[in-house]
Amino acid sequence: MKWKVKAKVIRIPLSEVAREALANVDDAPDLDPSDITELPIIVNEGGKYSIVDGFHRIAGMAGWAESEARPTKGVKIDVIDISGSDEDVIGCAAEPGGRGRFRPLSQDEAIALIAEAIGG
Is residue 1 a part of any domain in this protein?
no
Confidence of residue 104 (pLDDT cuts 50, 70, 90): confident
Residue 80, domain extent: 8-117
Global pTM reads 0.92
Residue 75 is part of a domain; what is its CATH number? 3.90.1530
* 13/104: higher pLDDT: 13
CA distance 103 to 45: 22
Residue 38 located in a structural domain: yes
Alpha-carbon span 30 to 116, nearest angstrom: 29
| Mean pLDDT of the 99-106 span | 78
Cβ neighbours for 97, distance < 8 A, ≥ 6 positions apart: 103, 106, 107
